[in-house]
Amino acid sequence: MRQLGIAVMANVPVRKWWNSNVYVNGYRNSYEGLYNNDPVKLSFTSLVANMTNTFTLGKGWNAELSGWYRSKGLDGILVINNMGAVNAGISKQVLKKKGTVKMSVRDIFYSQNFSGYAKYSDVDVDIRSRRDTRQVNFTFTYRFGKTNIKPERRRSSSASDEASRVKS
């Protein structure tokens, strides 16, 4: 198996209130050899992309829109079909910014379904998996304790005091 590729990641401040984090990976997987004493030669060029957008809406409100995509690709001798998902969420800070209430939806368009196939020699396998990937979550987070902790005081040892005197 050989893999050659390149990955790029960038954090892009689109506007003061909008930040985008983008990841793209393009690669080529090649598999050549014997499987059960039969010759197998497969190659695919694939793309994986992920984007997360965060939005500061003001008055303690924030939102997030993210998604990912994986094109058709090769994993050993298994060809995996394309799939992806789009997710969204909104949150509000409450209780003097010590608490956060959030609602999020995962896989909005129900597109994160695995399928693939393997065809070589006398093997002909077709795989399809459908599960409930769409989820709605409600969360509440509360931050206990002090929010304004003083920075750590610099302490010096007698050895560092002596080193300072020697330098002067």
Q: Which residue ranges make up each domain of the chain?
A: 2-167
Residue 19: strand pairing partners: 13, 54
Q: Identify the pLDDT of residue 42.
A: 87
Distance from C-alpha of 100 to C-alpha of 157, rounded to nearest angstrom: 43
Q: What is the pLDDT of residues 126-145, one digit of tens each?
A: 999 888 888 999 999 999 87
Distance from C-alpha of 110 to C-alpha of 134, rounded to nearest angstrom: 6
User: 99-106 and 61-70 as β-strands: parallel, antiparallel, unpaired?
Assistant: unpaired
Q: Which residue has the higher pLDDT, 155 or 6?
A: 6
Q: What is the pLDDT of residues 17-52, one digit of tens each?
A: 999 999 999 999 988 888 778 888 889 999 999 999
Please name which of 46, 52, 64, 65 lies closest in space to residue 7, comparing C-alpha atoms. 46
Please name which of 51, 40, 107 lies closest in space to residue 74, comparing C-alpha atoms. 40
Distance from C-alpha of 19 to C-alpha of 33, rounded to nearest angstrom: 46
Q: What is the pLDDT of residues 7-19, one digit of tens each?
A: 999 999 999 999 9
